[in-house]
Structure 1
Amino acid sequence: MIYEIGEYEGETAALIDADIYQLDVEADGDWELEISQPRAVSGDSLPQSMGDDKPQVFGPFEFNGSHTATGSHSGDGNFQVHVYPPEGNFGELIFNEIGEYDGETTFRHDGVGYVAVQANGDWSLDLE
């Protein structure tokens, strides 16, 4: 889900169950939306480096057990990084910070995954 006031450009990801859904958009200007449902069975290997100044989704990547993530964020809002499998009920929350951030953490994920970054300023992410 995306809740924004003002202009927005970016990407997001979510795990949802198979069903019929209704899209509800409230906007007072032009808007465009693209929805995709990737089903990758393999991906690029780690390490990977990425960065931008808006929300993005990357992948697929091959994860194999324990990993290290190094991230930075220069915005004043949320900096969230998730790894989502192509199917399932749960993603792995890697970072969940508010405001400027510069740090490192470890996480565990096995198999193919997509990396979703939510940020409102310049950010960078290195996955090993």
Structure 2
Amino acid sequence: IVLEHQIKLSGNSPAGSACYDVTVDVPFPIQRELSALLANVEKNKEIETCDEAICGIIRKIHEHRRRRAFFLGFSQSPVEFINALIESQSRDLKAAAGEPSRSAEKERRADFFNQPW
């Protein structure tokens, strides 16, 4: 800020003093820091959006890999794959139902299914 004022050294001295209020807009360092912080928040939101998109794409990739492995196993040996799938489903069903494991040998015989329920 530059203020120019001329001082008279000759003549009568002024009878009184004069006081002036000058309004000056000065950028505070806090305002700069706040604007930088707001810019960072905007960038962080953009980064979070990109991170969410990347995570979604990674989930899709994992799902596609799982499906590919499933169908590849089926295409290589369908009978063994189906048998393994049925065994897995049976184990999962028993675990979900909370049943104690039953004897597979007894279940193979027709007498097992002719019992009174």
The alignment's TM-score, normalised by the length of structure 1, stands at: 0.14
Question: Comparing both chains, which one has the higher relative contact order based on Cα–Cα distances under 8 Å and sequence gaps of 6 or more?
Answer: 1
Structure with greater helix share of residues = 2
Kindly name which structure, 1 or 2, has the bigger radius of gyration based on alpha carbons: 2
Greater strand proportion: 1
TM-score (norm: length of structure 2): 0.15
